[in-house]
Structure 1
Amino acid sequence: MTLTELKYIVAVARERHFGRAAEACFVSQPTLSVAIKKLEEELDVKIFERGASEVSVTPLGDQIVRQAQQVIEQAQAIREIAKLGKDPVSGPLRLGVIYTIGPYLLPDLVKNAIATVPQMPLMLQENFTAKLLDMLRTGELDAAIMAEPFPDTGLAVAPLYDEPFMAAVPAGHPFAQRASVTAEELKNETMLLLGTGHCFRDHVLEVCPEYARFASNAEGIRKSFEGSSLETIKYMVASGMGVTVVPQLSVPAEVQAHIRYVPFTAPAPTRRVVLAWRRTFPRYEAIAALRNAIYACPLPGVTRLTA
């Protein structure tokens, strides 16, 4: 068996589809299928059950896939160890960021990284928390910036900052001139939410649990109250369609004509933003350099954490 074949079975297990796995591995579907069939014949086991619409992993195949992930990770670690002897911060760092952090942190972070560690370019990937965790586990990412909580996957985690939430309301709303609002006061408002999959949606529902009813399977209701991104939802707020809750770093520095951002009454709800990486990742100096670049960002209104 080869590392390439192991990468193929990991990709199929992740995507549950041969075509999508082939695209992820940058090969044709026949090439991937032939390689996996060859591996199954060599091992004399069935790794996958081929269905009409989805591929499933057999119980024995699941054990093989897990071991394959470890082998791939160890092979990558060998390459990283070789680099480590030369320069631990030399070479790209593959960094994942969730959608509700990326637009507001990455511009300053990339600028700081270029200034301090130009030999370590950041290869960036924005995605949902669940997908970033999966990519960390399979070695497709070296590190990820996410918001807690997320499932315990045995990753190393370093806290970065605690970020308060703010209410975003139309400029003509009664709350617009208020010094602060409470979560209780938002109960009777039309709340605009991010779509399912965004962890920030769950954070908002923790602040305003009354809106959890909009997470039902009633498509009409859900489409009326959900948006694909924070910026889309802000435009909806500005047009008077409702109110929303946003993280502090997404609040623009300049006053906007049609939207106002109002702090929550203390204690304000917050989210903890962390940096996560595999414990076996050997380039700890690269992780430290990344953390320093993050701490060098302005981060207005947040509480920095260095523990």
Structure 2
Amino acid sequence: MTLTELRYLVAVARERHFGRAAEACHVSQPTLSVAIKKLEEELDVKIFERSSGEITVTPLGQELVRQAQVVIEQAAQMKDIAKRGRDPLAGPLRLGVIYTIGPYLLPELVRQVIDRTPQMPLLLQENFTVKLLEMLRNGELDCAILAEPFPDAGLAQAALYDEPFRIAVPAQHPLAAREAISAEALKQETLLLLGNGHCFRDHVLEVCPEFARFASGAEGIQRSFEGSSLETIKHMVAAGMGITVVPELSVPQEVPRHIRYLHFEAPIPTRRVVLVWRRSFTRYEAIAALRNAVMACELPGVARING
């Protein structure tokens, strides 16, 4: 068997479709199918159950797929070890970031990395927490920047900063003249939420638990609307459709005239942002360099966590 065949194996298990797996591997479907058949014959086991339009992995096949992922990662580590002998930071770093952090952290972080470690370009992926964790486990990412809490995947992690939340209200709203308001004061307001899958949605519902009953189902549609991104929701706030809760770094330095950003009264809700990576990942210097680059960013209004 070859590493190429093992990569095909992992791709089919991930995509559950030979055509999509072939496309992901940049080969023709017949080439991939022949390689998988050869692998099954060599191992004398059935790895995939094939039916009309659907591929499932057999129980024994799941074990083989996990082992193939380990072998692929270890083979990549051999290259990493060789590179580290010449330059510990040489080569791209594949970084995942959740949607509610990426637009506000990445512009300066990328500049910092280019200035500090130009030999280590960032290959970036924005996605939901669950998807990024899956990509980390599969070896598709080297590390990710997430907000706690998230499912424990046995990952190593380093805290980056604690980020307070702010309240965005229309400029003409009765609350707009206040400097700070309590979470209790939001109970009577129309709250605009991110859609399902965004961990920040869950953070907001922790701050305002009374809105959880409106967050799913049509019954509470008059009280709770959903948007696909924080920027979309901000436009809805500016148009007077309701209020929302946002992370500190998303507050622009020059506030638009149709929206106001208010502070929470104590206790101020926050989220902890962390850098996570697989414990088997060997480029420790790259992780340290990335963390140092984050700490060198301005990050107005957040509390950096040193050490």
Partner of 1:240: 240
TM-score computed with the length of structure 1 as normaliser? 0.94
| Structure 1 CA distance for aligned equivalents of residues 211 and 171 of structure 2 | 23
2:32 equivalent in structure 1: 32
Contact 2:214 2:220 in 1 (8 A): no
Alpha-carbon displacement from aligned partner over 1:28-68 (angstroms, at most 9, x marks no partner): 33332222222122222222223445432221111111111
Partner of 2:58: 58
Give yes or no for contact 1:170–1:176 (8 Å, CA) kept in 2: yes
Change beyond 3 A, Cα 1:219–1:130: farther
Change (3 A) 1:209 1:92: same
- Counting matched residue pairs gives 307
Distance 1:248 1:53, change over 3 A: farther
2:179 is the alignment partner of 1:179: yes
Q: Distance in 1 between matches of 2:208 and 2:243?
A: 12
Change (3 A) 1:31 1:201: farther
Q: Could you say which residue in structure 2 is the equivalent of 1:154?
A: 154
The superposition leaves residues 91-121 of structure 1 with CA deviations (integer Å, 9 ceiling, x where unpaired) of: 1111111111111001110111111111111
- Residue deviations 1:202-253, cap 9 Å, x none? 111111122223443549949x711111101110111111111110000001
Matches within 5 A, 1:57-96: 57-96=57-96
Match of 1:167 in 2: 167
The Cα of 1:258 is off from its aligned counterpart by 0.7
Q: Decide whether aligned partners of structure 1 residues 50 and 213 sit closer, same or farther in structure 2, where only a CA change above 3 A counts.
A: farther
Check conservation: 2:213, 2:220, Cα contact below 8 A: no
Contact map agreement 1:77 1:280 (CA 8 A) in 2: no
User: Which amino acid is the alignment partner of residue 176 of structure 1?
Assistant: A
Whole-angstrom distance in 2 between the partners of 1:217 and 1:67: 42
For 2:237, the aligned partner's letter is V
Mapped to 2, the partners of 1:212 and 1:49 lie a distance apart of 41
**1:225 and 2:220 equivalent?**
no
- 2:191/2:242 contact within 8 Å kept: yes
In 1: Cα distance, 2:294 partner to 2:247 partner: 17
Q: Write the distance in 1 (CA, Å) between the matches of 2:99 and 2:295.
A: 20
C-alpha displacement of 1:23: 2.6
Match for 1:187: what amino acid? K
Measured after TM superposition, the shift of residue 156 of structure 1 is: 0.9
Query: Within 5 A, what are the aligned runs for 1:1-307?
Result: 1-218=1-218, 221=221, 225-307=225-307
Say which SS state the counterpart of residue 157 (structure 2) adopts. Answer: strand
Report the aligned-residue RMSD: 1.9
Output the CA distance in 2 between the equivalents of 1:26 and 1:220. 46
Question: Which runs of 4 or more aligned residues in structure 1 lie more than 3 Å from their structure 2 counterparts after TM superposition?
Answer: 51-54, 217-222
Q: Percent identity?
A: 76
Counterpart secondary structure, 1:225: strand
Unaligned runs of 5+ in 2: none
Q: Which moved more, 1:177-186 or 1:272-281?
A: 177-186
Per mean C-alpha deviation after superposition, the further-off stretch among 102-111 and 197-206 is: 197-206
- Which ranges in structure 1 are unaligned for 5 or more consecutive residues? none
CA distance 1:196–1:52, change in 2 (3 Å): farther
Task: Decide whether aligned partners of structure 1 residues 214 and 75 sit closer, same or farther in structure 2, where only a CA change above 3 A counts.
Answer: farther
Q: One-letter code of the match for 2:179?
A: A
What is the CA distance between 1:19 and its match in structure 2?
A: 2.9
What is the CA–CA distance in structure 2 between the aligned matches of 1:275 and 1:81, rounded to whole Å? 22
Deviates most, 9-18 or 121-130: 9-18
